Amino acid sequence: MQRDAALVTLGHMSVTAPAPNRQLHLAAIERLVKSQALHSSEALCKLLRYLADQSLQNPGTSIKEYQIATEVFGRPADFDPHSDSAIRVQAGRLRVKMADYYATEGSTDPIVVELPKGSYTLAFRLRQETPKAPEPPLPTHAKQGKRQSLLLNWATSVVALSILLAAGVAALVVRLESKGHANVPPVATRDVPPSIRTFWKAFASGPQEPSVVFSNAAFVGRPETGMRYRNPEDKPSSPIFDHYTGVGEVIAVHELDHVFHLLNSEVRVKRGSLFSLDDAKSSNLIFVGSPAENLSLRDIPMNQQFVFRRLEGGPRKGDLALSNLHPKNGEPAYFIGSPATAALTDDYAVIALMRGMHPSESVLILAGTTTIGTQAAVEYVCHEDSLAKLLARLGVAGSSEVGPFEVVLHVKVTRGVPIESEMVAVRN
């Protein structure tokens, strides 16, 4: 076998390609690196180039997580992949970015590069599209039966997904709340990225674990018949369901749990409907979700520059927006994402740090105008590269204390996933 051979996947079969294909594969990597999906992430581009080099130079040899940590990200020799999931997180982010690229600007590329789950070895696949044979026309009564079957399957899937999501949130909350009552030994000392250590220092070093309060809005109706937000016009006797939350909040709680695990600390997780002012007086607080759903935010000190409000007039009347109370030159009066009637491609989120009800405590608000924006805000302060940009923009150097600030993010969304976030307004 030649050293310059490369792995190419054709359908379900992997074969060894001759060395000339190496140039085609390297060109495919360069298209990815220069794409809109990856242009703002130097760390992911560095990881992609390394994986490509290893996959092409050593076909058939698996790439180890420890190898990536020490050779790409400069982790120390005592790096432990079992207790530190940073490399798995970065690989997951790269996988999402690559999928986004091939679904958009790279949809016609002749070669598709993939990072299979559970592996760090890249696969290069020739794009082969087999045209589907046209289906014979169905009789009218068959079309109606097929349509009814599709609708029934769709409704069943929605109900099942709602149940699974609720169960997943409940399991995650139970697991996190139980941590404080178990004698869990601290994880091994690890090299925590400086940006994460600086930003989260006040929350991780407090006398008590911070409380993570996630939104769970009040709904009326049933999943199988249609649910909607409760409003003041509803009858007082209407049953209220407040045990649902968005997918963004679920992912956000997981991200926060990972960060505090890195810092050898823990968090307490609460639903917004169970939060009380007594909680606000006894610990640092992290709110996940906007006041439109996280009603407990209305009872504590709030951000003063960018406020969530529903528009009262115009073509977007009733839509949730971030009102810019003191616009600077060139800034809009409010930030608003995609219309509710269209596919979500743009969202806005706020990251706000302020003093708590007690001067020694802090309150952090991470919220979007949709659940996807909320997810993006949390990911922004949990990932090393974006957090470093935030600290630089705030003028925080070294281990300096992070003071109160408010930041607005513009979030690009593809197929329900926040792909890219950019700071568009900063106050500190």
Specify if 231 maps to a domain.
yes
Residue 171 sits in the same domain as residue 110: no
Cα separation, 413 vs 404, in Å, equals 28
CA trace torsion 173, 176, 180, 185 (10° rounding) = 160
Residues in a beta bridge with 372: none
Specify if 78 maps to a domain.
yes
- Written as one string, the DSSP assignment of 26-61 is HHHHHHHHTSTTTTT-HHHHHHHHHHHHHHHHSTTP
Range of the domain at 121: 6-126
Residue 163 sits in the same domain as residue 66: no
Residue 345 sits in the same domain as residue 416: yes
Q: What is the pLDDT of residue 42?
A: 83
Specify if 49 maps to a domain.
yes
Cα separation, 353 vs 302, in Å, equals 9
pTM listed for this prediction? 0.55
Domain boundary among 111, 126, 141: 126
CB atoms within 10 A of CB 362: 20
Specify if 224 maps to a domain.
yes
Residue 297 sits in the same domain as residue 384: yes
Q: What is the pLDDT along the chain (428 residues), one digit of tens a residue?
A: 333 333 333 333 333 344 457 888 999 999 999 988 887 688 889 999 999 999 888 887 889 999 999 999 888 888 888 878 888 888 888 998 898 899 888 999 999 999 998 889 999 888 875 444 555 554 554 445 545 554 445 444 444 444 445 545 444 544 444 444 444 444 444 578 899 999 998 898 877 788 888 876 655 566 666 656 556 565 666 665 555 667 888 888 889 988 988 888 888 887 766 666 666 666 788 989 876 655 555 555 566 789 888 888 888 888 889 999 999 999 999 999 999 888 899 999 999 998 876 777 888 999 998 889 999 999 999 999 999 999 999 999 877 889 999 999 999 999 888 999 999 999 98
Q: CATH number, domain at 116? A: 1.10.10
Query: What are the φ/ψ torsions at residue 4 (nearest 5 degrees)?
Result: -90, 10
Number of structural domains, the chain?
A: 2
Q: What is the pLDDT of residue 12?
A: 31
Q: What is the pLDDT of residue 358?
A: 73
Specify if 150 maps to a domain.
no
Residue 273 sits in the same domain as residue 371: yes
Residue 174 sits in the same domain as residue 290: yes
Residue 241 sits in the same domain as residue 330: yes
Q: What is the pLDDT of residue 7?
A: 37
Residue 170 in contact with residue 164, Cβ under 8 Å? Answer: no
Q: What is the pLDDT of residue 58?
A: 86
Residue 109 in contact with residue 10, Cβ under 8 Å? Answer: no
Q: What is the pLDDT of residue 180?
A: 44
Q: What is the pLDDT of residue 68?
A: 93
Residue 272 sits in the same domain as residue 390: yes
Specify if 306 maps to a domain.
yes
Residue 166 sits in the same domain as residue 118: no
Specify if 370 maps to a domain.
yes
Q: What is the pLDDT of residue 271?
A: 72
The residue behind tokens 């120390």 is: 76
Residues in a beta bridge with 302: none
Nearest partner of 196 among 69, 383, 374, judged by Cα: 383
Residue 62 sits in the same domain as residue 174: no
Specify if 139 maps to a domain.
no
Per DSSP, 304 falls in state: S
Residue 167 sits in the same domain as residue 121: no
Cα separation, 378 vs 368, in Å, equals 10
Q: Strands of 223-330 (E only): list them.
A: 226-229, 268-271, 285-288, 306-310, 320-324
Residue 74 sits in the same domain as residue 173: no
